[in-house]
Structure 1
Amino acid sequence: MFTTVGTRGTMHLGLCLRVLILAALTVPIRAAQPAQETFTLTVPDGPTSTLSGSSVSLLCQVSPVFNVEPLEVCWYHSSNIHSPALLYKDHKIQETPVVPRYRGRVSLTGGMERGNVSLTLERVTLEDRGEYVCQVSSEQWDEKASVFLTVNVTGSEPVLSVAEARGGGGQVNVTCSSEGWSPQPKLIWRNKDGAEIRNEQEVLNTSDPQGLVRVTNWQLYTPSYSDWVACTVSLSEEAKREGRILPHIYTAPTAAPGVYKEAFIVTLVLLILSLVIICALCSVILCKRRGSMWSSSQKSRNRSDQTELGQRPAETKNLIEGAENTVKTPSKQKAAGK
């Protein structure tokens, strides 16, 4: 009787120990497994900005927090949904299929054991800008969220130019132009005191084939000898350019129409006189050259004549001697015959 009860008690005690051991082993195993219920993704409300050539992190957090290492994480650009920028699967980052230009530049650095699947992109280029989609998938659930990336490129220093206004009235047309910006910058006019000059003219924005923006704006301004005007083009306080100009230096003094007419007549008369003087000088130079050429040719002729005269007496002497010999020869012949 006592033996039977003792045996049953031992059996119940062994069963309880087995249940306790199984429960103790099951708790940590379940804690290490990802939660099977639904989850959401938390991303920044506004765009994420970075400078060209730098590194940037596109934030994406799983909520509630749990270990997402067993899950699948995919990041892709909205323009290419079939080829991801990064694919995490089977506890490692897959080499394919991904867009080739992202290889070696992307990683997950947030801490997946804490539910952080943020994407880090290095050596950012202008081509990287746009919308990125963060996608986390489990066997029971799939969630997506978008992050917008803007790549800031600081453009050139503004170039200012001044032209006379059509209506006159002492005003000039000041133009400001700057190129090579991304995204579209803000253009502000300021006076020498730093106060903003309100301008009703619309800013003209044009893009080149690379997507960089050129901004141009103009305004009517009344110049003075001490006031300068400044044009500031900026993306932020850290990325801005400024150009200044003194408009009165580049403006010509205003004159009456009669003054312009008289100045034109005087200029025309001076031009005609200059042409006459130039023609007279050319004629004198030409005459001198012709006279020198004629004297040179005359001297050459005189020398040749003298040479010919020096040769003629000898020829004449030879002719006379020949004639005398001819006359003497018949006389000798007659004397011999006699």
Structure 2
Amino acid sequence: MFTTVGNRGTMHLGLCLRVLILAALTVPIRAAQPAQETFTLTVPDGPTSTLSGSSVSLLCQVSPLFNVEPLEVRWYRSSNFHSLALLYKYHKIQEAPVDPQYSGRVSLTGGMERGNVSLTLERVTLEDKGEYVCQVTSKQWYEKASVFLTVNVTGSEPVLSVAEARGGGGQVNVTCSSAGWSPQPKLIWTNKEGTEIRNGQEVLNTSDPQGLVSVSSWLLYAPSYSDWLACTVSLSEEVKRESRILPLIYTAPTAVPGVYKEAYILILVLLVLSPVIICALCSVILWKRRGSMWSSSRKSRNSSDQTELGQRPTETKNLIEGAENTVKTLTRQRAAGKGGNLKAETNNSIEGAETTVKTPTEYIAFDWHQVKGFKG
């Protein structure tokens, strides 16, 4: 009897233990199962903006939070499901079939164990702008959401120019132009007080094949003596370019009142006459230089003549002494009976002397009668 009762108690106790073990194993699984079966994705409401050449994160978060490492994550352009920017599968990022445009530039850096599947894109270019789709897939469920990326490109410095307006009336036509912007920028005119000018302006935007925008604007303006204008082209308060101009500097004489008109005419006259003045100065300088050279040459010639004239008396004296010696020799020969024409030979010697001592301007007077011992 006791044996029967003991067996029944043992059976009831074993059954209770089995129920408790099953309950303990079943409750945690049922609590965790809904997070893996269904989920949603959280993305930014508006577009994500970045500058060309920088890095950007396209945010995408799984809700409720759980570890998504065992799941599949796809990032792709909305226009083409098969053109993948990134594919995460089998616990790693796949090399193919990713678009080569994104090779080496994308990663998942949010922390997948916390349910963050945000895409980080480096070295952003203008071609990267557009809509991206974040898709997370499990064995039972998948969800996707879109993130729009805008790439800001800062354009060139605005170029300003001024021309007289048609019909005159003291107004000028001020032009502002800038190119190479993305997306379409905002252009405003302001005066020196910083007040925006809205009247009398027109704005034109054009795009090139690369999607970059050029902006131009024209403004009719009546300048005063000290007013300047500013043209500002901007994408935001942080991304903008500005140029300024003083219209009075560039306007025609008819559009400039008072002293500015007279100053403009004076400058114009000086510009016209400056070539004539320069030519006259060059002529004076050349004339003075030539006169100086001629004077130096004349002094050199006079010095040479004076030197030569200083040497002539010595030469003449030597010739006279030679002639005297010749006369003495001829006289002795005559006395010895070797006759000869003493006067003729002496004349020949003197003519040679006269030829030798000839100066550049005249012949030195030479009297052969001064030769000692000569008798005609």
What is the TM-score normalised by the length of structure 1? Answer: 0.69
**Deviation for aligned residue 1:48:** 0.8
Farther off after superposition, 238-247 or 76-85:
76-85
Q: Structure 1 315/213 Cα, relative in aligned 2: closer, same or farther at 3 Å? A: farther
**Which amino acid letter does the alignment assign opposite residue 73 of structure 1?**
V
Partner in structure 1 of residue 236 of structure 2: 236
Q: Deviations over 1:213-268 (max 9, x none)?
A: 55332222222336543323222234344444442354243189xx999x999997
CA distance in 1, matches of 2:12, 2:161: 99
Q: Work out the number of aligned pairs and report it.
A: 325
Return 322-331 or 311-320, whichever deviates more: 322-331
- Superposed, 1:32-181 pairs within 5 Å as 32=32, 37=37, 40-51=40-51, 56-62=56-62, 66-75=66-75, 87-91=87-91, 93-94=92-93, 96=95, 99=102, 101-102=104-105, 106-109=107-110, 112-113=113-114, 115-120=115-120, 125-126=124-125, 129-131=128-130, 132-154=132-154, 158-178=158-178, 181=181
- Aligned-residue sequence identity (percent) comes to 58
Q: CA deviation at 1:153?
A: 5.0
Structure 2 counterpart of 1:190: 190
Aligned position for 2:311: 307
SS at match of 1:49: strand
The answer (yes or no) to whether the contact 1:136–1:142 under 8 Å persists in 2 is yes
Shift of 1:302: 4.2
Deviations 1:174-224 (A, max 9, x none): 122445644331112234472441455333456698x76553322222223
Q: CA 1:252–1:146 in structure 2 vs 1: closer, same or farther (change >3 Å)?
A: same
Contact residue 158 and residue 231 of structure 2 kept, 8 A: yes
Residues 19/171 of structure 1: CA separation in 2 closer, same or farther (3 Å cut): same
Q: CA deviation at 1:28?
A: 2.0
Residues in 1 aligned to 2:153 and 2:231: alpha-carbon distance in whole angstroms: 18
SS at match of 1:224: coil
Letter in 2 for 1:23: A
SS of equivalent to 1:23 = helix
Give yes or no for contact 1:75–1:86 (8 Å, CA) kept in 2: yes
Q: TM-score, normalised by structure 2?
A: 0.63
Deviation at 1:84, TM superposition (A): 6.0
| Correspondence for 1:218 | 218
Residues 171 and 255 in structure 2, CA contact (< 8 A), matched pair in contact too: no
Output the CA distance in 2 between the equivalents of 1:77 and 1:42: 18
Q: What residue identity is the alignment partner of 1:300?
A: S
Q: Which of the pair has the greater relative contact order for Cα pairs under 8 Å at 6+ separation?
A: 1
1:279–1:58 CA distance, 2 compared to 1 (3 A) = closer
The separation in 2 between residues aligned to 1:332 and 1:58, in whole angstroms, is 143
Letter in 1 for 2:105: Y
**Greater alpha carbon shift after TM alignment, 156-165 vs 266-275:** 266-275
Counterparts in 2 of 1:323 and 1:37: CA distance versus 1, 3 Å: same
User: For 1:93-138, what per-residue CA distance to the aligned partner results, in whole angstroms no more than 9, with x for missing partners?
Assistant: 54856745426xx44326644x4422355x7644684243323222
Write the distance in 2 (CA, Å) between the matches of 1:281 and 1:41: 88
Deviates more, 1:215-224 or 1:272-281: 272-281
CA contact (8 A) 2:205 2:213 kept: no
Flag the 1:169–1:284 CA change in 2: closer, same or farther, 3 A. same
User: How far apart are the structure 2 equivalents of 1:266 and 1:12?
Assistant: 124
Find the residue that maps to 2:311 and give its secondary structure: helix
| Structure 2 CA distance for aligned equivalents of residues 51 and 266 of structure 1 | 51
- Check the 8 A contact 1:233/1:242 in 2, yes or no: yes
RMSD over equivalenced CA pairs, Å: 4.8
What residue number does 1:18 align with? 18
Please say which of residues 161-170 and 61-70 is displaced more in the overlay.
61-70
CA gap of 1:20–1:333, structure 2 versus 1, over 3 A, is farther
Q: Is contact 1:155-1:181 (8 Å) kept?
A: yes
Tell whether the 8 Å contact from 1:189 to 1:198 is kept in structure 2 after alignment: no
C-alpha contact (below 8 Å) 1:71/1:136 kept by paired residues: yes
Amino acid at match of 1:231: C
CA distance in 2, matches of 1:77, 1:147: 10
Asked if structure 2 preserves the Cα contact closer than 8 Å seen for 1:34 and 1:68, the reply is: no
Decide whether the 8 Å contact of 1:33 with 1:67 is kept in 2: no
Quick one: distance in 2 between partners of 1:255 and 1:238? 38
After superposition, the Cα gap between the structure-2 partners of 1:225 and 1:274, relative to the gap in structure 1 and judged at 3 Å, is closer
Q: Which amino acid aligns with 2:229?
A: V
Change (3 A) 1:83 1:266: closer
- The amino acid of 2:318's aligned partner reads A
- Cα separation, 1, equivalents of 2:312 and 2:18: 153
Does the 8 Å CA contact 1:32/1:67 hold for their aligned counterparts? no
Do the aligned partners of 1:155 and 1:179 also contact (CA within 8 Å) in 2? yes
Residue 317 of structure 1 aligns to which amino acid in structure 2?
A: E
8 Å CA contact retained: 2:201, 2:217 = no
Structure 2 SS opposite 1:169 = coil
